[in-house]
Amino acid sequence: MTYSPEVTSRLFLVDPENLRFPFEDRSIDIIVSDQVLEHVFDFEPIFREHARVLKPNGLAVHRFPRRYALWEVHTGLPFAPMSRYRWYLTLWALAGLRSERQKGFSWQNAVQTNETIFGTTNYVSKRYLLDLAQKTGLGGRFINHLPISESRMGRLYRSANRLGLSRIAGPLLMAVNMNHTLILESAEYAANR
């Protein structure tokens, strides 16, 4: 795949040793990531950079898998927290459950790739992220993204809302939804919102 110079001129590689975004202080309106934060192991320098580069009314919007999702999105296995255990991965591999990219894998290869996946994922609590946001000079909140989501859950949520059932269905759908959305903004903007 090739990208136009207009696109490539706007791409920047962040040095993992330095973790400094290549932007001036308070120069960015919005930061967006989708399915990235679960691969971060040291959130503090990332959040500090958000606080540094975001304009006073800027936002960072991060969508990522929930810590206790019913299905782990990378492996396709049920109940994400159990996927940390080799015996659990082995049980499902022996039962024949494979992700799309594991079709045709032996059970041993499925277990090995799932272990590798979990070596690069880091599910932390909402409380941890919100506390760290505050510590690094950011306001943080989680939002319900189902009203705007085009996922199956989003469509169910909107259907329930049209039928007047959102007070019942909303919390249930949020409980089984696999993702959540974190909003970060400058602490002073969050305080005045």
Phi, psi of 33, rounded to the nearest 5 degrees: -140, 150
Q: What is the mean pLDDT of residues 147-169?
A: 85
Q: Does residue 158 lie within any of the structural domains?
A: no
In a domain, 154, yes or no: no
106 and 128 together in one domain: no
What is the average pLDDT across 149-176?
84
pLDDT digits (tens, 9 = 90+) for 2-40: 778 887 787 777 777 778 888 999 999 999 999 999 999
**133 shares its domain with 184:** yes
Task: Answer yes or no: do 50 and 140 share one domain.
Answer: yes
Average pLDDT over residues 55-72: 90
List all residues 6 or more positions away from 33 whose beta carbon is below 8 Å from its beta carbon: 60, 61, 62, 63, 64
Q: Which domain holds residue 137?
A: 15-67+123-145+179-192
Burial (0-12, 13-18, 19+ Cβ within 10 Å), 63: middle
* Domain containing residue 34: CATH number: 3.40.50.150
Does 31 share its domain with 105? Answer: no
Check: CB of residue 75 under 8 Å from CB of residue 38.
no
Q: How confident is the model at residue 1 (pLDDT cuts 50, 70, 90)?
A: low
Same domain, 59 and 34: yes
- Rounded distance, CA 136 to CA 186, Å? 10
- Number of domains forming the structure of the chain: 2
What residues have CB less than 8 Å from 60, skipping those under 6 apart? Answer: 30, 31, 32, 33, 50, 54, 138, 182, 183, 184, 185
Is the same domain home to 27 and 50?
yes
Are both 127 and 188 inside the same structural domain? yes
| pLDDT at site 94 | 97
Residues 20 and 88 placed together within one structural domain of the fold: no
Report pLDDT for 68. 83
More confidently predicted of 116 and 177: 116
Angle, in degrees to the nearest 10, between helices 126-135 and 43-53: 50
| 79: pLDDT strictly greater than 90 | no
Report d(CA 115, CA 101) in Å as an integer. Answer: 14
115 and 133 assigned to the same domain: no
Rounded to the nearest integer, the mean pLDDT of the chain is: 89
What is the mean predicted confidence (pLDDT) over 134-154?
87
Give domain status of residue 39, yes or no. Answer: yes
Cα–Cα dist 111/75, whole Å: 10
Whole-number pLDDT of residue 83:
86
